[in-house]
Amino acid sequence: MKQGRRVERKVQKQKTKMSKEEIEKKKKIIKKTFITIIALFAIFIIAMIVNNFVILDNNKTTNLVINNRNVTSNLKNEILIENNVIYLSKSDIANFFDKYIYEDEETNQIITTYDKKIAAIGFENNEMTVNGSKKEIYAHVINRDDTIYIPISEMKDIYNIEIENIESTKVITMDSLDREQKQAIVTSNLAVKSSTNFIAKTVDRVEKGDTVIVISSENGYSRIRTQSGKIGYMKSNKLENEFVIRQNMEEEKQIEGKINLTWDYFSQYGSAPDRSGTTIDGVNVVSPAFFYLDSDGKLKENVGDEGQAYIEWTHNNGYKVWPMVSNAEAARESLSITSEIMNSYTKRQELIEDIVNMCVKYDLDGINVDFENMRQEDIDMYSRFIIELTPRLKEIGLVTSVDVTAPDGGETWSLCFDRNVIGDVADYIIFMAYDQNGVSSTKPGTTAGYDWVELSLNKFLTTEEIEPEKIILAVPLYTRVWTTNSEGDIISNPTVAMKNIDNVIPEGTEKKWNDDLKQNYVEYSDGDNTRQIWIEDIDSLKAKVSLIKEHNLAGVASWEKDMETDEFWSMLKEELEIK
């Protein structure tokens, strides 16, 4: 009995001991929990302070905000502010406004273009030439440590921007006047956060009644720009009376839907055809051969009374008229004639001024630049010509279209065009999809096989990265009759109009369809010689035109008027859904 009681007391003591240990453990747990709560509460208090009272991002250097985006980290050089004039480096102007900005050594000027303006500004005089007219300004280009700086605050009209220098916060804002701008009124005093996260630094504070620019709104938050130029977030329900102070300015197109252009060619020794009393079903643009460079490189016109009657006919029928400006005569005389003009800013401007004056004189709707046979080394300077011409024509509401060849071939035929730049700058780039095999070819072949046209077009879209809605596909309304002797040498290859081809082919000659070229082919003997024709007809042209719809191109052009059959126009109208 005594032994049993001793065992029982021992067990009871152990239970008591275990109970004390558990109590100690619980005390420690409670203590740790309490400390954790205190720490979290402290963090919460600090976060609230940071969130609502402390501004952590005071600018140490000048910040640049362009169209509600802080681009300071993208600046290549510092911003200069001298005598209240704001300067950006030429590299930064190129990055944000004009990637084609150019230093012209001939005139010691910076040439810059933007939308409807071309401006030339020098390094010495406080003077700027804008679209051919001179104006006084308060600053000029400067060179600091081999970095060129442009007085952008003097060029607001060129880049169509408004500029504000907010000295108190070291922020410069630049807003495009052709972009939408929305404002709203703040309903409470509150902090503007760097993000929508719970813990986010404060970038600025706004007060009830302040006006802010609303950049975007999503998930109950609005991204805004304060009057100090700071960009951040606030709850959308703290804004009221949101209103648009400036609308997006969208450029109206001359032609709604697909373009259907036809070239109406006549030499400088001929005159415009009399088309009074006629119409061309489905056509909405005509391009007569009105202007050309002569052997001295001067712009000449071939309009006259016939041409003025032609222009009246086009407008009476609702057609736009984009006459050709050709360098054909100059190129035949010498490649150096076009080269001399392209390599001189002064001569380019003289030619551009002459073109603009002709357009105003004859009430034209656009221009078709058809410069061919140029030197490969002039590729960039020809691009400069198009870069400088386009804004001058845009200023008076005219279209710039530029003809180019396929992206393969000879130096003076193909490699003289920078299609990417031309396609970027001009309103339209016209791919002359013909003479795959032409007058200088060493063997007979098709004028424009479907497979070659498609391959070349894909290069425009992918390699050259041209937007499809800027590309006009030009098709030939002619073919060549190739005559070779028994040894296979080419004797002749004259062109034959589409409408006359059946008169050339002997009766009974079998036509064979080539599905790669998507053309009919004929071959027949003429004495000891052989004749071969890759025929351009409704079927071959319809196949090529289908690429316009497939790739959503801008439209079609045809070379040249009066070579076609009547059914050609109805086919185009149907394929392109032209009303």
pLDDT in tens, 374-399: 999 999 999 999 999 999 999 999 99
- The pLDDT score that the predictor gives to residue 7 is 47
pLDDT average, residue stretch 486-510: 97
Domain boundary among 129, 163, 197: 163
Q: Are residues 199 and 339 in the same domain?
A: no
Residue 56 pLDDT grade (very low, low, confident, very high; cuts 50, 70, 90): very low
| Predicted local confidence at residue 14, as pLDDT | 52
Residues of the chain with pLDDT > 90, as a percent, come to 88
Q: Do residues 269 and 403 both lie within one domain?
A: yes
Q: What is the mean pLDDT of residues 337-363?
A: 98
Domain end position, chosen among 246, 270, 300? 246
For the beta carbon of residue 188, count every other beta carbon within 10 angstroms: 13
Helix or strand (DSSP H, E) at 504? helix 501-504
* Residue 250: per-residue pLDDT: 86
Q: Is residue 400 part of a domain?
A: yes
59 band by pLDDT with thresholds 50, 70 and 90 = confident
* 335/8: higher pLDDT: 335
Mean pLDDT, residues 5-33 = 59
The residues, any chain, with a CB within 8 Å of residue 241's CB and separated by 6 or more, are 184, 185
Contacts of 112 (CB under 8 A, 6+ apart): 93, 97, 98, 101, 102, 118, 119, 121, 150, 155, 158
* 371 and 426 both lie in a single domain: yes
pLDDT band at 579 (very low <50, low <70, confident <90, very high): confident
* Low-confidence winner among 249-258, 411-420, 557-566 (lowest mean pLDDT): 249-258
Residue 363: Cβ within 10 Å count: 11
CA atoms of 282 and 279, how far apart (whole Å): 9
Q: What is the mean pLDDT of residues 548-556?
A: 98
pLDDT digit string, tens, across residues 191-215: 999 999 988 999 999 999 999 999 9
Rounded to whole angstroms, the Cα distance separating 156 from 174 reads 9
What is the model's pLDDT at position 198? Answer: 85
pTM for this predicted structure = 0.90
Please tell me the number of Cα atoms within 13 Å of 174 on its side-chain side. 22
Q: Does 209 map to a domain? A: yes
Same domain membership, residue 264 and residue 229: no
Cα-based angle 370, 375, 381 (whole degrees, multiple of 5): 75
Domain hosting residue 124, numbered range: 63-163
- Confidence at residue 115, expressed as pLDDT on a 0 to 100 scale: 96
How crowded is residue 68: how many other Cβ atoms within 10 Å of its Cβ? 17
Q: What is the CATH number of the domain that holds 223?
A: 2.30.30.40
Least confident of 21-25, 224-228, 279-283, 338-342: 21-25
pLDDT tens-digit series, residues 73-92 = 999 999 999 999 999 999 99
Question: Does residue 168 form part of some domain?
Answer: no
| CATH number for the domain that contains residue 88 | 3.30.457.10
User: Chain centroid to CA 471: how far?
Assistant: 12
pLDDT over threshold 50, residue 338: yes
Q: Return d(Cα 283, Cα 198) in angstroms, integer.
A: 61
Average pLDDT score over the chain: 93
For the segment 35-64, the average pLDDT, to the nearest whole number, is 63
pLDDT value, residue 84: 96
Taking the C-alpha atoms of residue 374 and residue 409, their distance in angstroms, rounded to an integer, is 13
Query: What does residue 263 show for φ and ψ, rounded to 5 degrees?
Result: -80, 130
CA dihedral 301, 307, 311, 316 (to 10 degrees): 180
Q: Give the pLDDT confidence score for residue 28 in this predicted structure.
A: 67
**Residue pLDDT, tens place only, 239-267:** 999 999 999 988 889 999 999 999 999 99
Radius of gyration of the chain from Cα atoms?
Answer: 36
Q: What is the pLDDT of residue 20?
A: 63
Query: In this structure, are 282 and 239 located in the same domain?
Result: no
Q: Residue 491 falls within a domain, yes or no? A: no
Band of the pLDDT at 53, cuts 50, 70, 90?
Answer: very low
Is the domain of 223 the same as that of 369? no
In a domain, 277, yes or no: yes
Check whether residue 131 and residue 189 sit in a common domain: no
The secondary structure of residue 75, as a DSSP letter, is: -
Q: Strand ranges (DSSP E) for 380-427?
A: 399-404
Identify whether residues 217 and 338 lie together within a single domain.
no
CA distance 191 to 194: 10
Mean pLDDT confidence for 98-115: 97
Number of separate domains in the chain: 3
Local confidence band at 58 (pLDDT 50, 70, 90 cut-offs): confident
Domain check: are 441 and 558 in the same one?
A: yes
In terms of domains, do 310 and 420 share one?
yes
pLDDT in tens, 157-179: 999 999 999 999 999 999 999 99
Task: Write out the DSSP string of 261-329.
Answer: EEEE---TTS-----TT---TT--EEEE--EEE-TTS-EEE--HHHHHHHHHHHHHTT-EE--EEE-HH
Confidence tier at 54 by pLDDT (50, 70, 90)? very low
Distance CA 113, CA 390 (A): 9
Q: Which of 478, 498, 473 is nearest to 576 (CA)?
A: 473
First to last CA, the chain: 119
pLDDT tens by residue, 320-329: 999 999 999 9
> Which phi-psi region, left, alpha or beta, contains residue 494 (left: φ > 0; alpha: ψ -120 to 50)?
beta
Does the residue 444 lie in any domain? yes
Same domain, 364 and 438: yes
| DSSP 8-state secondary structure symbol assigned to residue 107 | T
Residues 87 and 230 in one domain: no
Supply the DSSP symbol for 460.
Answer: I
- Provide mean pLDDT across the span 109-132: 98
Tell whether the model's pLDDT for residue 415 goes beyond 50: yes
Do the domain assignments include residue 507?
no
Query: What is the CATH number for 358?
Result: 3.20.20.80
Q: Is the dihedral of CA 94, 97, 98, 101 positive or negative?
A: negative
Half-sphere exposure (CA, 13 Å, Cβ side) for 344? 12
The verdict on residue 490 lying in a domain is: no
d(CA 247, CA 181): 7
- Tokens coding 277: 């009393």
Is 192:130 a contact under the CB 8 Å cutoff?
no
Query: Cβ-count burial of 562 within 10 angstroms (0-12 exposed, 13-18 middle, 19+ buried)?
Result: exposed
Half-sphere exposure of 407 (CA within 13 A, CB side): 19
Percent of the chain at pLDDT > 70 equals 90
Residue 149 burial (10 A CB sphere; 0-12, 13-18, 19+) = buried
Q: What is the pLDDT of residue 324?
A: 98
Mean pLDDT for the stretch of residues 505-524: 97
Of 246, 273, 293, which residue is a domain's last? 246
Q: Which amino acid is at 455?
A: L
